[in-house]
Amino acid sequence: MYGRMRQRYLKEHRPGLYSSLILSEKLYPHLLEIDRAARERMDAMLPRMMEAAGVTEDLKARDPMRWAGLMNTLKAQVEELIYLELVFI
């Protein structure tokens, strides 16, 4: 997902870099690295943010709708950071 977003961003906003990566056959390794780094970042940040926000299994059992809402909010926040730090640079 993140690699495809990076590819679209490069193609639309950084055509010189996009062409250079294609010609040097480094585009796909670059996209794979962006995708890997983004997933690692998500896996590292989300648990810390869940802990800070008090999103626990106990909350999930007591109030599943609140838990789902908080999880969606946290995931959106982490994804926004990933976009800014890895995808749209």
Q: What is the average per-residue pLDDT within 26-33?
A: 96
- The domain locations on the chain are 2-87
What is the average pLDDT score of the chain? Answer: 95
Q: Where are the alpha helices (DSSP H) in 1-89?
A: 2-13, 15-23, 27-53, 57-62, 64-82
How far is the C-alpha of 27 from the C-alpha of 13, rounded, in Å? 15
* The pLDDT of residue 89: 86
CA distances 74 to 4, 12, 49, Å, are 22, 29, 7
**5 CA to centre of own chain:** 10
How far is the C-alpha of 62 from the C-alpha of 67, rounded, in Å? 9
Give the pLDDT confidence of 30-69 residue by residue, as tens digits: 999 999 999 999 999 999 999 999 999 999 999 999 999 9
pLDDT at 19 over 90: yes
